[in-house]
Chain A
Amino acid sequence: MSKGLNMPAFTSIPARLTKFLLLIAISFFAMQSFAQGKPDANASPDTFVKAVSDQALMMLQNDPDVRNQNISRINEIVDMYILPYVDFEKTTRLSAGKYWREATPEQRIALTKAFRQTLARTYSGALSRIDSGTKMDILPFRAEPDAKDVVVRSRVMQSSNTQPIGIDYRLEKTPSGWKIYDINVENIWLIQNYRNQFSQQINSNGIDGLIAALNERNSK
């Protein structure tokens, strides 16, 4: 009986080895294609934005926690699939404007974190409405070949029989490739929209007051 069990195992070693090697080969190719699927920050800006948003869309599309506006899940996805391609410190720095120079390194970190949380809340509503019908089209892109600061325009159809939303991304060329730092939804630039609110708060309550105000909003 034990002989009967051992025999097939013994004879099939080459077969198993082949299968093992085949698996390695497959996973190698899978890894390679996964790596190719990852957004390439050194590609042209429109290709890069398309890859980033396609990847994020795919992750958001069928996630039940996203549908239920689960902030921590949305944060997780944003952390993994959007934030690596965003220069969020720059977004915060430009929103704070001249006051950024007055901020201590600790305040800068706290402000960036609080602002990031605010934006996750801003977009959690919109992100939770993403479904299988959501489509994004990149509009024709034009820029000088040596441009360092560009805008990629896109149009998002949230679901059928509604108006598409215009979303533009502003990118900067960094040593490690393109990074998104500002976003425009229906003609409203994010940084520009927060700048006055930031300076109002800082004028009356200082930078710590602004951080506290953002965090208070975030905890509601």
Chain B
Amino acid sequence: MLLNASRFVFKPLALAACTLTVGCAATQGTPNPSDPWEDSNRTIYEFNDGLDRVVLRPVSEAYAFITPQPIRTCINNVFLNLGEIWSGINSVLQQRQFDAINTMGRFLLNTTFGLGGCFDLASANGQPRIPNDFGVTLGVWGFNSGPYVVLPLLGSSSVRDTFGSVGNLVGNQLNTIGYIPDVGLRNSIWGLEFVARRESLLQISETVDRTALDPYSFIRDAYLQQRQAKVLGPEAAADALPNYENYEDVAADNKALNLPPPPK
């Protein structure tokens, strides 16, 4: 009875620990335990990447070409500033009160003296943005990330973060820009936000293109690491360092080398 109960309790716990411990998932090599749906994910990734190259990237580059950098920064900052409300609410939901207070302080300062968020005065004065969202909130509430998922159009996610995205859509979009009664204006603003966000990532996607051996796994591992760190919070993430030690330990290495060769 006790044995059964402990198995029932500990197996999910061990699984949770494995997903939550940075490095644990990655040590297996291929196939990656945090990405059991890799084949279908790669298919969707290829589709997204193709669409990005044909439509989104050229549009963002055209936008960057006709808009001077200070104006682009301003526009992007205004959208980020609007998102602070939802970030702050999520900080409250996660009981990260200091983050919530700082985020609200940033929002008030940037909205007023920063002219609607155009100028990020708070960052210049030593209070950087604390990005937060509902996927992180679910993580803080104890929901496991679940397998990695690539969503059509939206890109990297996980099972948990897919649910989080629904919350973000309601909290961050429908409850802000969604209130604009004029449909044409509302959709134009959403279009601009999408392009402005893509534009701000152009340099990163160039770097990934130039340097990643396998862009798919580069982006996946980066995404999982970053989400993990956000759920843990900055202090805990700084303490939860990836443990590379077993790679230097001769016994562990020999054991690893005696493993049957991984499937090709």
Contact = CB atoms under 8 A, between A and B. Distances in A.
A91 to B, nearest CB: 10
Contacts of A162: 73, 120, 123
B203 A125 contact: yes
Contact of B244 (A121, A191, A193, A203): A191
Interface stretch (B55-63, B94-102, B207-215): B207-215
A125 B207 CA distance: 7
Contacts of A129: 203
B128 interface: yes
B198 interface: no
A192 B212 contact: no
Interface string A164-208: 100010100000000000100011110111111111110110000
B241 interface: yes
Nearest to B259: A98
Nearest to A119: B211
Contacts, number: 119
A173 to B, nearest CB: 15
B129 to A, nearest CB: 6
Q: How large is the interface on B (under 10, 10 to 19, 20 to 34, 35 or more residues)?
A: 35 or more
A157 B120 CA distance: 12
A200 B217 contact: yes
B212 A170 contact: no
Q: How large is the interface on A (under 10, 10 to 19, 20 to 34, 35 or more residues)?
A: 35 or more
Given A204-B264, A214-B213, A191 B29 contact: no
Interface in B220-262: 221-222, 225-226, 229-230, 237-238, 241-242, 244, 247-248, 252-253, 256-257, 261-262
Given A187-B237, A191-B242, A203 B217 contact: no
B43 interface: no
A197 B214 CA distance: 6
Contacts of A119: 211
B32 A193 contact: no
Contact of A197 (B212, B242, B244): B212
B100 to A, nearest CB: 19
Contacts of B30: 196, 199-200, 203
Nearest to A185: B222
Q: Which of B26, B211, B222 has the most CB of A within 10 A?
A: B211
Interface in B61-76: 70, 73-74
B107 interface: no
B26 A121 contact: no
A140 B20 CA distance: 26
Contacts of A110: none
Contacts of A210: 213
B238 A151 contact: yes
Q: Which of A98, A102, A182 has the most CB of B within 10 A?
A: A98
Nearest to B129: A163
Contact of B253 (A101, A153, A191, A220): A101
A197 B218 CA distance: 7
Given A97-B27, A200-B29, 17 more contacts: A98-B247, A98-B252, A161-B70, A161-B119, A161-B124, A162-B120, A163-B123, A164-B128, A187-B229, A187-B230, A189-B225, A192-B242, A193-B218, A196-B29, A196-B217, A200-B214, A217-B210
Interface of B: 22-23, 26-27, 29-30, 32, 70, 73-74, 77, 80, 119-120, 123-124, 128-129, 203, 206-207, 210-214, 217-218, 221-222, 225-226, 229-230, 237-238, 241-242, 244, 247-248, 252-253, 256-257, 261-262, 264
8 contacts: A98-B253, A126-B207, A161-B77, A163-B129, A187-B229, A191-B244, A193-B221, A214-B213
